[in-house]
Chains A and B, each alone.
Chain A
Amino acid sequence: MLLQRMNQTFPFHQLRQEVGRLFEDYLGGVDGGTFSGTRGSPAINLWEDGDTLFAEAEVPGMNMQDLEVSVIGDELSIKGQRKECCTKTEGATYHRQERGCGEFSRLITLPCAVRTDRVQAVLKDGVLTVTMPKAEEAKPRRIEVKAE
């Protein structure tokens, strides 16, 4: 149901994604979720369970110091910088350079309010996971039906 709501809120989101994908295919592509030069910033997966929203991004080669995660209102912002591949070694030849590098910034609108003071971000093996507990009013509530 939330997904439906999101698609209604952002009718162009899906279209933009599709067009983006088309170009990526045309330009030689992104594989998996790893960010590459053509995409410029990492892809994000977003899912939920009853009380919590989760966002995940693949950011291989980055440390927590290279990343800045923040939630302001109902927007999640992930900024980062991949430095390791920017330093070109003198006298080295690049036969292939498919891995993206440099700065990126992603901003996504969350489908419901979250408790910004309890947001947690964990980086493990190049995967960033952001855990965002939903605000009380956004949590699903079971409404009891009373028999008369």
Chain B
Amino acid sequence: MTTTMEKKENGVSRAERMQCGCAYAPGVDIIENQNEVILLADVPGATAKDIDINFEQGELTIHAHIPSRQGDETRFLLREYGVGDFHRTFAVGEGVDAQAIRAQMSNGVLKVHLPKSEKIKPRKIAVQSE
């Protein structure tokens, strides 16, 4: 198993037009170890209740609703980034146990644990001597 998860869209950056308005693609790290795949996403400004994670037909969708922090009439002197919702979809391989997916939020970072299903976990086979 080389890549359990593949980013669906190619090189998404900046705000994307979406059905529900505009959204940013969060930066992510995807780390795989023996037992699970861990996805870390930067979603600053979001708390646990703002996050919506869906797993459907092999696709994991993350949506973070970011409440506006400044009013429309704010006088910006420097504006290096925009504030808005985060959204990104990943294709997930069959080796993930969908029932056991869980997630937690801490300091604006979302951590999603995707445990591997038993049948694809690496197993060491003992060789018996006769």
B83 → A minimal CB distance (Å): 7
Instruction: Collect the chain B residues with CB atoms within 8 Å of residue A61's CB.
Output: 42, 106-109
Instruction: Collect the chain A residues with CB atoms within 8 Å of residue B45's CB.
Output: 58, 125-127
Residues of B within 8 A of A (CB): 3-5, 7, 11-14, 24-34, 37, 40, 42-47, 69-70, 74-84, 86, 106-109
- Main secondary structure, interface of B, reads loop
Q: Are A32 and B84 in contact (CB under 8 A)?
A: yes
Complex interface bits, A1-43 against B, C-beta within 8 A gives 1, otherwise 0: 0110010000000000100000011001111111010000001
Instruction: Collect the chain A residues with CB atoms within 8 Å of residue B75's CB.
Output: 2-3, 47-49
Closest B residue to A60 by beta carbon equals: B108
Instruction: Collect the chain A residues with CB atoms within 8 Å of residue B70's CB.
Output: 47
Instruction: Collect the chain A residues with CB atoms within 8 Å of residue B74's CB.
Output: 47
Size band of the interface chain A makes with B:
35 or more
Residue from A31, A62, A95 having most chain B Cβ neighbours under 10 A: A31
A24 to B5, CA, bound (A): 24
Q: Are A46 and B76 in contact (CB under 8 A)?
A: yes
Q: Are B33 and A32 in contact (CB under 8 A)?
A: no
